[in-house]
Each structure stands twice: as C-alpha cells, then as structure tokens.
Amino acid sequence: MIFFCHDSIPNLQYAIKWGSAFYGTKELGWLIEVAAYAVSANIVFLNGAAFDPKPSMGSGDQTRYIKIKSIEEIKEPVIIDYIGQAGQFNGWK
C-alpha cells in the first residue's frame, strides 16, 4: 500500500493508531486509514466525500471507503486515482 501512496502523495508518513495504519502528511493531516480484517481490508479515505467519483462505501460529510479482498486490487486504476485524490484535500489534523 505504501508504495502506491508514496508515488502519489509527497512527504507521506505513516503511523499505527488504534490497530490500523494511517497515512498522511504534516501539511494535510491524516489522509488514509487501512483497517485489516481476517478476509479483507478497508481503505478509508478520510476526505473521500470530496472525491470525484466518491468511493462507494460510507456516508457522512468526510469519509468514504472501499473494501479489498486481495493485494492485487490495490493496483486497480480507480484505487490509484483515489490515493492521488487523497493528497489534494485536507485530512484529519
């Protein structure tokens, strides 16, 4: 996951918080959360409501997410696009 993010979001950092991986920058805040489960992972875009198109899962004013079931899905163009869009909006500070 981090390899795709680094190509799209400059100065990316990560931390483990509450059992999940968070990715973000000092300037924009936390942008992406990856929550792993036994058979899938949720990639949560903390500013995903601003994306065009919006990730399909989630509701509310800020977050949207996608569910993946294999590491290969991360290479899909729509996911790479979402990661790029995450670096264009402020996240959680």
pLDDT of the chain, 93 residues: tens digit per residue: 545 555 678 888 999 998 999 999 999 999 999 999 999 999 999 999 999 999 989 877 889 999 999 988 988 999 989 999 999 999 988
Structure tokens at 12: 């990316």
How many other CB atoms are there within 10 angstroms of residue 49's CB atom?
16
Contact between residue 71 and residue 9 where contact means Cβ atoms under 8 Å apart: no
Which pLDDT belongs to residue 93? 85
Contacts of 27 (CB under 8 A, 6+ apart): 11
**Peptide bond before residue 53 is cis, with ω within 30 degrees of 0:** yes
Contact between residue 30 and residue 20 where contact means Cβ atoms under 8 Å apart: no
Which pLDDT belongs to residue 59? 78
d(CA 78, CA 65): 12
